[in-house]
A and B are shown apart, each in its own frame.
Chain A
Amino acid sequence: MTKAPILSVDGLRVTFRARGRTVTALRDVGFSLQAGKTLALVGESGSGKSVTSLALLGLLPPNGAVAGGNAFYRSRNGETVDLAGLSARAFRKIRGREIAMIFQEPMSSLNPLFSIGEQIGEMLDLHEDLDAATRRRRIVEMLELVEIPAAASRLSSYPHELSGGMRQRVMIALALVCAPQLLIADEPTTALDVTVQAQILELMRRLQREMGMSILFITHDMGVVAEMADDVAVMYAGAVVEEAGVGELFAAPAHPYTRGLLASIPRPDRPEGERLKAIPGAVPPLFALPRGCAFAPRCSFALPACQRRVLLMEVAARHRAACIRAQEVLADA
């Protein structure tokens, strides 16, 4: 942690208005992403990963709003901007050029009525001023970079003519064509089958080595985390409950929830026949969260004191957890 992080989120809160009620989807999200590194944001479905990513780019649906916290982003020219309170106009300068995003659904994330070339070209048109030949060359180069075969002949293809894996490659090409500093990838391989998933992950690692961008990688898959991430932030019910380097987290989780997550992934090195341990109970709905630690009702370490607010605290070097018994959990590993 010598350099300042490129993205530093603290206490981020997001609320939604739904049927006259206000629900808090993000209660307390905090993490920091080092320049050139990959931070995995991991958590069960519904824990608020997508909402976090959308909030960072100002893309929340109309009924959602950032209700507190900061997200300091260090832009290319060295300025620090708070993404948590940015105007629509200021976001337009950030999106695509500084921070780009790829989404979970490669099937529906590309506009069906515009060709691949038009959609990637539009990104260039928005942020750079290129002559026609350079523009075309940049699009073809980018498609080659994401390993689309016969790239030049693909410019006039439409999304429906491509497979899911190819579409996700196009999405990546689109996101990276203006060489953003930060790529937010929201479950980019969840909708793809396993072999394609491995190819896309490999591609993203290679592109990161070559282009040097930072990646906020969102996933619910601990296996993918192990493969992709330098650091990990674990989310539970709208809050980050643990943040650590990937090695530290896998070796010694400090939050009982993380521990449960890790125990529930199948691993070939486990003795044959050892049962996977599922976490008992279910994620509580957002409108019925318990006081204090939201995980306490499912937690074997829970104490009465867990009903008080628990903050993310340093438990070891480069390792933070939101659990009052973190030291015991660590020692128990």
Chain B
Amino acid sequence: MLSSVADPAPAMLKYVLNRLVGMVVVLFLVLTITFVIVRVAPGDPAALMLGPDATPQDAAQLRAELGLDQPILVQFGKFLLSAVQGDLGQSLFFRRPVLSVLAERAEPTTFLALFSLIFSIAIAVPIGIFVAYRRGGLADQGAVSTAMLAASVPSFWTGLVLQRWLATGLGWFPASGYGGPSSTFLDRMGYLILPSIVLGIVNSALILRFTRASMLDVLGEDYIRTARSKGMSEARVVLKHALKNAAIPIVTVVGLTFALLVSGAVVTERVFNIPGMGSLVVGAVLRRDYPIIQGTLIVVAALYILINLLVDLLYLLIDKRVRY
């Protein structure tokens, strides 16, 4: 499809390079902000790590070990320097590099996010298209009110109800956890099905509403009438001529739901007792494990920036009028 434009490759490359430079700037800001937030947060990590019985001397010694006694700018400089080398510091609690702790917890969270995204797109986009086509009908009214309800119910509540009903009650899914050390990859994925649905429900509601609104707009356009006047099936009118035009807002909202996935994953992992990055960060907050909090924020921010770039590149693929 791209080949039909004069020669988009260099322009596209330049665009991507520009965006990458922008990403570096944003990442620097993220690093700065996380550093500041973590330092101004109350509580002395050394004292926390050592527990209530420690003497002030012990605490002072640990603070020196961790570099927490140095001037704040020196701490920041060291932090930046190691961050660009891929070293996000040591977890105060696990006493291991932050990145390796994060990597251990990445699998369930990644697949939880991925499955829930697939689930919500697979449910919401087709229904959104259908009810926009049959606007005002029974299906439309039903879908719109269901979506409104789904978006307003907190996901921990949906999680608990579905866990009770489908897992504990009917036994269709494992109720919680992520399998033992000997469990296979497929076993572990089985633990993620129900949590992914729970996490996907809220996003489905959002994507459905956007898909519907976007399709409604497009279906009223003159070129849709032109398409019909050519003698094609309604399916082709809707799925080819209308959907392509409605796709940009849909892609945008799918990109935005990533932010919801992050906060949703924290809640969902708690409800289903899944050892992912969500439960890691909750634990880290309770233990004031600053490096872990910091590391998680940085990884999430980097992912967010990456997803934004992907969304923008998708725009370019869909609409040739979008300027690099």
Does any Cβ of B come within 8 Å of A51's Cβ? no
Across the interface, name the chain B residue whose C-beta is closest to A96. Answer: B231
Would you call A109 and B222 a contact (CB within 8 A)?
A: yes
Interface string of A113-133 (1 = CB under 8 A from B): 111000000110011000000
Would you call A103 and B226 a contact (CB within 8 A)?
A: yes
Bound Cα distance A174, B226 (Å): 10
Across the interface, name the chain B residue whose C-beta is closest to A107. Answer: B222
Would you call B231 and A94 a contact (CB within 8 A)?
A: yes
Would you call B230 and A126 a contact (CB within 8 A)?
A: yes
Taking A111-B241, A156-B4, A156-B5 as contacts, is the C-beta distance between A92 and B233 under 8 angstroms? Answer: yes
Bound Cα distance A88, B221 (Å): 20
- Which of the residues B4, B226, B231, B318 comes within 8 Å of A127, measured between beta carbons? B231
- Which of the residues A92, A110, A112, A115 comes within 8 Å of B231, measured between beta carbons? A92
Minimal beta-carbon separation of B319 from chain A (angstroms): 6
Would you call B229 and A113 a contact (CB within 8 A)?
A: no
Does any Cβ of A come within 8 Å of B228's Cβ? yes
Would you call A108 and B221 a contact (CB within 8 A)?
A: yes
Q: Which A residues are in CB contact (< 8 Å) with B244?
A: 111, 113-114
Would you call B222 and A105 a contact (CB within 8 A)?
A: yes
Bound Cα distance A122, B241 (Å): 11
B223-254 CB contacts (< 8 Å) to partner A: 223, 225-234, 241, 244-245
Interface of B is mostly: helix
Would you call A110 and B226 a contact (CB within 8 A)?
A: yes
Bound Cα distance A159, B117 (Å): 34
Would you call A158 and B229 a contact (CB within 8 A)?
A: no
A3-33 CB contacts (< 8 Å) to partner B: none
Would you call B4 and A108 a contact (CB within 8 A)?
A: no
Does any Cβ of A come within 8 Å of B321's Cβ? yes
Minimal beta-carbon separation of A123 from chain B (angstroms): 5
Taking A113-B320, A158-B321 as contacts, is the C-beta distance between A97 and B222 under 8 angstroms? Answer: no
Minimal beta-carbon separation of A171 from chain B (angstroms): 8
- Which of the residues B234, B319, B320 comes within 8 Å of A88, measured between beta carbons? B234
Bound Cα distance A110, B227 (Å): 9
Would you call B245 and A95 a contact (CB within 8 A)?
A: no
Minimal beta-carbon separation of B248 from chain A (angstroms): 9
Q: Which A residues are in CB contact (< 8 Å) with B231?
A: 91-97, 126-127
Would you call B230 and A110 a contact (CB within 8 A)?
A: no
Bound Cα distance A123, B226 (Å): 11
Q: Which A residues are in CB contact (< 8 Å) with B241?
A: 111, 114
Q: How many chain B residues touch the partner (CB < 8 A)?
A: 22
Q: Which A residues are in CB contact (< 8 Å) with B245?
A: 111-113
Minimal beta-carbon separation of B57 from chain A (angstroms): 70
Bound Cα distance A174, B225 (Å): 14
Taking A57-B229, A59-B228, A94-B231 as contacts, is the C-beta distance between A109 and B223 under 8 angstroms? Answer: yes
Taking A112-B245, A156-B4 as contacts, is the C-beta distance between A95 and B320 under 8 angstroms? Answer: no
Does any Cβ of B come within 8 Å of A101's Cβ? yes
Minimal beta-carbon separation of B322 from chain A (angstroms): 11
Q: Which B residues are in CB contact (< 8 Å) with A96?
A: 229-231
Taking A109-B223, A160-B321 as contacts, is the C-beta distance between A100 and B229 under 8 angstroms? Answer: yes
Taking A103-B222, A112-B223, A113-B244 as contacts, is the C-beta distance between A95 and B228 under 8 angstroms? Answer: yes
- Which of the residues B225, B230, B232 comes within 8 Å of A103, measured between beta carbons? B225
Q: Which B residues are in CB contact (< 8 Å) with A100?
A: 229
Q: Which A residues are in CB contact (< 8 Å) with B318?
A: 113
Minimal beta-carbon separation of B239 from chain A (angstroms): 13
Q: Which B residues are in CB contact (< 8 Å) with A158?
A: 320-321
Q: Which A residues are in CB contact (< 8 Å) with B319?
A: 112-113
Across the interface, name the chain B residue whose C-beta is closest to A57. Answer: B229
Q: Which B residues are in CB contact (< 8 Å) with A126?
A: 230-232
Across the interface, name the chain B residue whose C-beta is closest to A104. Answer: B222
Minimal beta-carbon separation of A193 from chain B (angstroms): 20
Minimal beta-carbon separation of A139 from chain B (angstroms): 14
Q: Which A residues are in CB contact (< 8 Å) with B321?
A: 112, 158, 160
Q: Which A residues are in CB contact (< 8 Å) with B232?
A: 92, 122, 126
Across the interface, name the chain A residue whose C-beta is closest to B133. Answer: A62
Q: Which B residues are in CB contact (< 8 Å) with A109?
A: 222-223, 225-226
Bound Cα distance A123, B232 (Å): 9
Q: Which A residues are in CB contact (< 8 Å) with B221?
A: 108
- Point out which of A105, A109, A156 has the most chain B C-beta atoms below 10 A from its C-beta: A109
Would you call B222 and A108 a contact (CB within 8 A)?
A: yes
Across the interface, name the chain A residue whose C-beta is closest to B241. Answer: A111
Q: Which A residues are in CB contact (< 8 Å) with B234?
A: 88
Bound Cα distance A93, B232 (Å): 9
Bound Cα distance A97, B230 (Å): 8
Would you call A110 and B223 a contact (CB within 8 A)?
A: yes
Bound Cα distance A108, B245 (Å): 13
Would you call B226 and A111 a contact (CB within 8 A)?
A: yes
B128-146 CB contacts (< 8 Å) to partner A: none
Bound Cα distance A110, B233 (Å): 18
Bound Cα distance A203, B6 (Å): 30
Q: Which A residues are in CB contact (< 8 Å) with B222?
A: 103, 105, 108-109
Bound Cα distance A127, B232 (Å): 9
Name 4 extra pairs, CB < 8 A, besides A94-B231, A100-B229, A109-B226.
Answer: A59-B225, A59-B228, A88-B234, A108-B221
Listed A/B pairs (14) with beta-carbon separation below 8 Å: A92-B232, A95-B230, A95-B231, A96-B229, A97-B231, A108-B223, A109-B222, A109-B225, A111-B245, A126-B230, A126-B231, A158-B320, A158-B321, A174-B230
A interface residues with partner B (beta carbon < 8 Å): 54, 57, 59, 88, 91-97, 100-101, 103, 105, 108-115, 122-123, 126-127, 156, 158, 160, 171, 174
Closest 10 CB pairs of A and B: A95-B231, A96-B231, A108-B222, A156-B4, A111-B223, A96-B230, A101-B229, A109-B222, A109-B226, A92-B231
